[in-house]
Structure 1
Amino acid sequence: MQNDPSEETPSKSFLGLQRDDQFFLGLLFIAILILSVVYLARLSRWGTEPIEIKRQKQLPYQYQIDINQASWVEFAQLNQIGPTLGKKIVAHRDTHGPFRSIDDLLKVKGIGPQKLEENRIHLRLSTPAPE
């Protein structure tokens, strides 16, 4: 048999696709790639001016707790006093009665003069103890 010019040679197929389908999928892939690059460029704010945020100075946090009414959670917020020592303070107050002065906190085991002075600005005695 001779090659008949009327017979076309079959085109190579890739993944079982015809040449026109391959061309369409190639164009679709390129379009998706271009749109992805544009989307990522917009996400990165490419081409925009950066914004400079000025922050205010950090203000000191002022708080005070009443040593005769505070819970152990409030005591635990003070410097160098954690939950354990806060519970000891409340237990001492419950067993020995209300504190008569801020210096009475020195009677609680675990509180020394240095811890008391460091936290003195946060302590107050608003309910006077009965005599």
Structure 2
Amino acid sequence: MQNDPSEETPSKSFLGLQRDDQFFLGLLFIAILVLAVVHLARLSRWGTEPVEIERQKQLPYEYQIDINQATWVEFAQLNRIGPILGKKIVAHRETHGPFRSIDDLLEVKGIGPKILNENRIHLKPVTPDSD
């Protein structure tokens, strides 16, 4: 009975897996490893060339605001005038009446000649009301 051909010797198991299962897991591991390497190569942009993009020259802003009609939000869009200074301009206009000229903005605390000259192209000249 020792040499009974009907009795098969059990295949060696590794981690409780049969030989066929070990082979399948080995192939699965290799496939995952290959896909991971391909994914890393794509992430590193290996094998690609940089593309130069021609951009148009940036155009300057061309707009003007009426200093007697503008809101603080419109003033805040100007160079070196933020929301706080924009609100000060509107408060000054509401307290002292409409501005007679662009230079009257110098009366607002926080606006000096440098800021005014920098933004002069964006300010419409004051025209007298025709009543």
Residue 81 to residue 42, structure 1, CA distance change in 2 (3 Å): closer
Cα pair distance change 1:113/1:49, threshold 3 Å: closer
Q: What is the Cα-based RMSD across aligned positions, in Å? A: 2.6
Task: Normalising by structure 1, report the TM-score.
Answer: 0.78
Q: Deviations over 1:74-127 (max 9, x none)?
A: 111222222111111101111222111101111212222222112111111355
After superposition, give the CA deviation of every residue in 1:47-85 in whole Å (9 maximum; x if it has no partner).
344322122222222222110111111111222222111
Partner of 1:95: 95
2:12 equivalent to 1:12: yes
How far off is 1:46 after superposition? 3.9
Structure 2, unaligned runs of 5 or more: none
Matching of residue 65 in structure 1 with residue 65 in structure 2? yes
Question: Which residue pairs with 2:86 in the alignment?
Answer: 86
The aligned length equals 129
TM-score of the superposed pair, with normalisation by structure 2: 0.78
Structure 1 unmatched ranges of 5 or more:
none
Say which is worse superposed, 11-20 or 121-130, in terms of deviation.
121-130
CA contact under 8 A between 1:65 and 1:122: conserved in structure 2? yes
Per mean C-alpha deviation after superposition, the further-off stretch among 49-58 and 113-122 is: 49-58
